[in-house]
Structure 1
Amino acid sequence: MAIQEIVDIMQEMTGLHQQLLELASQKKEAIIHNQVDQLNGLVNKESKLVKRVSELEEKRVFEADRYLVGKGYRPNPAITVSDLTRIIVKAGEKQALIEAQAQLLEVLESLKAANKLNQELAKQSLAFIDYSLNLLVGAEDEAVYQNPQQQSAGYSKRSGFFDSRA
């Protein structure tokens, strides 16, 4: 019966990852619309879900070890679901575990893509903010004298709208 418990845990993990995927979508909108307070709230929700996923992963490892011991194997905390499917002899249990694994992997791939997109959006947002600030106040290194012969060829920064040296 331990395999069914592992399948149930993996299905719960799939549900949590689907919630994380929904939060990732909401985070994308918050980043695009510069809603920092909403983004903070989403990150807090995300942290709670990630903590729960971690707890479930520990429980999955425990149940896998329990199954291994029940079948006469030594417990192995590094055993993967794929390894476990090779050990299972009952076709129904094996199929249920493979399906749970496939569902989880599908959601994980979608979540990975969404998080990568959010990371890129955040980087672009920060780069735009940095660029805007440099336009407004000018670069800090302009306040230091440089010998004109030692400056890099072909590139000179324009001062921003405000003269920060005044």
Structure 2
Amino acid sequence: MSELLLIDILEKMVKLHKSLHAIAGNKTEVIKKGDIEPLQQIMKDEQAHIMSIQKLETARQNVVKQIAPELLQPSLTDCIQRLNQEEAAKVSGSAEHLKQIIMDLKETNTLNQQLLIQSLQFVNVSLNALKPTNRSINYGKPLKGDAIRTDTIGKQSMSLLNIKA
């Protein structure tokens, strides 16, 4: 009974991770376009998937403990060793499929993270380009005859002309 429940849980986890991977792919396209509203909806969908996956993971851990109660923290490998050949093959296949989907999801999320970092860097550069500076356009009196002067806010900056007055 526990064996069939484990197989069912793993199959549901595979489906949810596939769906989450599809959402992450959509997220990549939305990030490229720069649409904020669809991105917010995608993030809500991701959260719902993650919560469902967490519930399934808790259920999986409970079932694994039922299959191998003598172990403190049994793994799927421990369970596979205790199952008959047919059930072990199903659990092993589902686990491998889940592992592959998680690796693909990780790659997609890494790409999304890099795209978001680049977008934030672009926004920061754009804001810095638009931000007014407090530099004085007028010539300042050189200090000790060299080309360095002090701004209105106390910073030193290079003068455009090297003039000794």
Which residue is equivalent to 2:8?
A: 8
Which residue is equivalent to 1:146?
A: 155
Structure 1 gaps of 5+ residues are: 150-166
Which residue is equivalent to 1:107?
A: 101
Q: RMSD of aligned C-alpha atoms?
A: 2.1
Residue pairs, 1:64-75, within 5 angstroms: 64-69=64-69, 73-74=70-71
Structure 2 gaps of 5+ residues are: 135-150, 159-165
The two structures have a TM-score, normalised by structure 2, of 0.79
- Higher RCO by CA contacts (8 Å cutoff, separation 6 or greater): 1
Shift of 1:65: 1.1
Checking the alignment, whether the CA contact within 8 Å between 2:68 and 2:74 is kept in structure 1 is: no
Moved over 4 A (4+): none
Number of aligned positions between the proteins = 143
Which residue is equivalent to 2:118?
A: 124
Q: Hey, what's the Cα distance between the residues in 2 that align with 1:22 and 1:143?
A: 54
The two structures have a TM-score, normalised by structure 1, of 0.78
Larger Cα Rg: Structure 1 or Structure 2? Answer: 2
Shift of 1:94: 1.4
| Residue 79 (structure 1) aligned to one of 66, 74, 81 | 74
Residue pairs, 1:36-75, within 5 angstroms: 36-69=36-69, 73-74=70-71
Shift of 1:90: 1.5
Shift of 1:143: 7.1
Higher helix share: 1
Could you tell me the percent identity over the aligned residues? 24
Which residue is equivalent to 2:147?
A: none
Q: Hey, what's the Cα distance between the residues in 1 that align with 2:54 and 2:87?
A: 24
Checking the alignment, whether the CA contact within 8 Å between 2:7 and 2:91 is kept in structure 1 is: yes
